[in-house]
Amino acid sequence: MLLSFISSFLRIMTKIRRFPFFSAAAVLALTVPLSALADYPDLPPEPPRAASSFIGMGAATGTPSGDVAQAVKPVLRSLPVPTMVQSAPFNKSDLYAVPVTTNFPRPLKIGVQASLGLSSRAQWLRFTLEELKYVLGEANLEILWFDNRQLELGVKSRQLDFILADADEFALAQSTGYYEASASFLPNAAIRAEDAQAAVIFTRRGRESTAFSALANPSTTFAATSRDSLAGWDAAVVKLFQNGISRTDIEDRTTFYGWSSASVLHAVLSGAQTVGILPACELEKLENRGKVGITHDLSIFSPQRDDTLSCAHSTITYPSITVGVLRTLDPAWKKAVSTVLYAAASQRYGGEWALPAVNRTIYDLFYELKRGPYENLGSWNLNRFLRENAEFIAFALLAAFIIISYAVSLSVLVKRKTAQLRRALEEREMIEAEAVQSRQHIANLERTGIVGQMSTIIAHELKQPLAAIVNFAGSLNRRVQKGNYDEKAFGWALGEILDQAERANQIVNRVRAYAKHDYPPRTIVDLYGVIGNAITNFRRARQTAAEVIVRVNKHSMAEVDAWEIELAVLNLMKNAADAISGVEHPKIIVSLTPIDEKTWALSVEDNGPYITDEAFDNLFKPLQTTKGADGMGLGLSIIASIAERHAGRCTVERAGAQGLRFTLVLPRIVGGNEPDLAEDGLPPKMTVYKEGELASARGADDFRIENAKPKTRAATMDPNNTNVSGI
C-alpha cells in the first residue's frame, strides 16, 4: 500500500511544473527515511518529532522536517569502546606534551574502525588515542567507534574530521575523494610503512607439504581469526587464489576463531585444522609467550624475504592502520593532529606513526577480490560492457558495415567480371583457333623447309650409291658384250648393286619420315663425327673464303638423332657464312664443350657485322628473316625445334663488338662403355677414319681444325673428299 501510494504521489508531483523544489523535497521526505530504517533494523526508537507534511515541511513551523534533515545528514550509530582497548595497559608517563594549537571552535570528530580494537594492536591504539586526548584536550575530541558499514556512511556524508582505519578501509574512503592520508602505522618489525603487515600461512611441521598445490586437497581445512582482517584473511585469500584455489572453496573449508591468534595456533597444533592463517608477527608474539617454537613446531608456506618485514610471512606486504583527514578541514587542525601523531613516543607499544604509505598493493588486492572500485568487475553488466568497449564496438560496427558493403559491391563486381570473362573466353577460343591454324601453317612450312634443307645432302648422298650402281652395271654390261662371263665376279657385282640400291632406299625413306614428322628414335653417337660430316657438307655446298676453326674432342658421346644435329650445324654454319660475306678476315668457329655431366654446349660463332637490338630480338621468330627476299625466316625456327626435340634449347648471344654466337644445349652421355666411333649413327657413306689415315688427302683449300685439348694435334680435312679425319 505504501509503495503504491508513493508511486501515485510521484506521478502527481511530476505534473506540478511550477514547484520543482517541492517535488524534490517530497521525494526525499518519503524515500530516505524508509531506506535509513532498512539499513539499521536494530536502532532504538526515535524521539517524537514534529509531523511532516507531504512536501517535506513541518506542519506547524514550515521548517524542514526531520525526514529531510536525516536525508541531508544521516545519523551515525557508534559502538562502545572495545573491551581490549579499555583494558589495554599503558603508562601515563609515556604521554608527551606537544605544543600545538588547541583553540578549536568545536570538537574534532574522529571515527575509529571498531575491528582494530579487537586485534593485537589494541594497546598501541589506546596509547595513540590517549596521546591525542592528552595534548589536544579531551573536550576538543569526539572519538567514535564504528563498524565498517557505519564508517563508510560517515565518510560518504563527511561527518567525520578524521578516520582511523586499516589500509583497505581507508583506501575505500580515499576513493570517494573526500579524505586524504595523514599518517600510516610503521611497526617495529618493518622499515617501510608499505611493509607494515602481511599474512602467514602455516601448518604443523611434518604433517603437510608446504607447497601450495597441497592446499587444493579437499580434505585440507583452514583456521583463521576473522573475515574482517586484512592481514589475517584477505591477504591469504589472494595468495591462495593466485595459486589456483577459489575464494569460495577456501571459505567453505575455513573455521573462524574470532580475534584469538592463540585459538588458531591451538587448532593447528592439536590437529583440529590442517592449515592456519594469522597476521604476520602473531606467531612471534606467541613464541615470546612460550606458546610455540616456530622453527621446531611449524612449517611456513612460501616464506617471503624480499621486503623489510622481519616477521615470518607468506604473502606480499601491505600498509597497515592509516589516519585519514577530511580534505576540506582547516589546515591548522590537520597540522595539530599530525604533529601529535608524529611526536608520540609509541614504539614501546609496537610501532610509530610515519608518513603516509603508498596504497598500490591495496588496490591490487581489491582487483583480485573484486572489491571497492573493482566490485563491478565481479559480474557482467551490459552498460559497463558498452561503456568500456565503446571504441571497439564502434570499430566492429564500422568493420561490419564495410564488410557488408564490400560483399555487396564484390557480388556486383563478380557478376560484371564474369560476363567480361565469358566474352574474353569466347575471344580467346577464337584466337586459339586462329593460332592453331597458324601453327599448322608454320609446321607445314617447317616441314617444307626441312625437306628443302635435306635435299642438298640427299642429292649428294644419292650420287654415291647411284654412281656405284652405274659403275657396276656398266662393268657387267661390258663383260657381257665381250663374252667374258665370270659367275663369281657377276655375283659379287650384283650384291654390291643391291647394297647400294638399299642404301639409296634408306635415304629416300628418311626424307619421307621427316616430311611426315615421323622422327626416328635417338641413338648414342659421337658428336665428333656428326660435326665433321656437317662441316664436310658445308664446304661442298658453299663457296666461302672464311676460316673455319673447329674445337671438338673425340668420343664426345650424346644420345641424339645424328641427321637432325648435322642439319642444325649445317644451317648455323650457312647462316654464319651469309653473315660474314663481305667482312674482312671472315671466321667461323665451331666448338663443343661440356656444361656439366649431363649436357653439351655446341656453339657456332662468327665475326659478322653488328645487328640492331630489334633484329636480335626477332632472330627466333618464325617468318622473320635478316636475308631479305632470299630468306624464308624458318632456319633458326627449325634449329630451335630440333633442340627442343632433344630436350635441349638453342640460345644466341653477342660475340663481342661484332658477330653472334649460337649455342645448342644437347644431352650428354658420360661413361666408359661408349664405342670409340659411332658409325651406325652417321649419314650413309660418311666414314670416320682413324687418326693418321688421311695425312695425304689435303687440298689447296684445306681449313684448319683445332682440337679442344691442347695436347692433341690439329688435323686437317679435305673438303673435296667425303671422308673426315682428325676432328
Distance CA 131, CA 654 (A): 109
Distance CA 365, CA 372 (A): 10
What does the pLDDT read at residue 435?
87
In sequence order, the β-bridge partners of residue 256 are 224
Residues lower than pLDDT 70 in the chain? 1-72, 208-209, 378-380, 446-464, 503, 507, 510-511, 514-519, 540-543, 618, 620-635, 671-727
Angle at 375 between CA 41 and CA 153, to 5 degrees: 35
What does the pLDDT read at residue 621?
62
DSSP state of 417: H
DSSP SS3 for 16: coil
In sequence order, the β-bridge partners of residue 499 are none
CB-based burial of residue 667 (10 Å sphere; 0-12 exposed, 13-18 middle, 19+ buried)?
middle
> What superfamily does domain 199-300 belong to in CATH?
Periplasmic binding protein-like II (3.40.190.10)
In sequence order, the β-bridge partners of residue 557 are 526
Cβ atoms of 561 and 522 closer than 8 Å? yes
> DSSP states of 590-655 as a string?
EEEEEEETTEEEEEEEE------HHHHHTTTSTT--SSGGG--S-HHHHHHHHHHHTT-EEEEEE-
Nearest to 229 by CA among 266, 175, 277: 277
Task: Report domain extents, the chain.
Answer: 74-193+320-377, 199-300, 382-497, 520-687
Distance CA 122, CA 112 (A): 12
| Pairing mode of beta strands 599-606, 179-187 | unpaired
How many residues would you count in the chain? 727
Q: Which residues, 6+ apart, have CB-to-CB distance to 130 below 8 Å?
A: 90, 92, 95
Angle at 150 between CA 145 and CA 154, to 5 degrees: 90
What does the pLDDT read at residue 424?
92
Q: Which residues, 6+ apart, have CB-to-CB distance to 556 below 8 Å?
A: 526, 527, 528, 592, 600
> 16 vs 9, 30, 718, CA distance in Å?
11, 17, 133
What does the pLDDT read at residue 682?
35
Domain 74-193+320-377 CATH class label: alpha beta
Angle at 182 between CA 335 and CA 71, to 5 degrees: 95
What does the pLDDT read at residue 514?
65
Q: Find where cell 560484371 sits.
A: 416
Q: Find where cell 573462524 sits.
A: 256
What does the pLDDT read at residue 456?
57
Cβ atoms of 95 and 128 closer than 8 Å? no
Domains 74-193+320-377 and 199-300 share a fold: yes
Cβ atoms of 631 and 579 closer than 8 Å? no
Domain 520-687 CATH class label: alpha beta
Name the grid cell of 638: 627449325
CB-based burial of residue 684 (10 Å sphere; 0-12 exposed, 13-18 middle, 19+ buried)?
middle
- Phi, psi (5° rounding) for residue 347? -65, -30
Helix axes 635-645, 390-482, angle to 10 degrees: 100
What does the pLDDT read at residue 570?
84
Name the grid cell of 176: 570517494
Distance CA 187, CA 320 (A): 9
Distance CA 318, CA 364 (A): 10
Question: Residue 395, Cβ neighbours under 10 Å: how many?
Answer: 11
For the stretch 700-710, pLDDT in tens is: 333 344 433 33
Cβ atoms of 596 and 560 closer than 8 Å? no
Distance CA 274, CA 220 (A): 6
H-run or E-run covering 326: strand 322-326
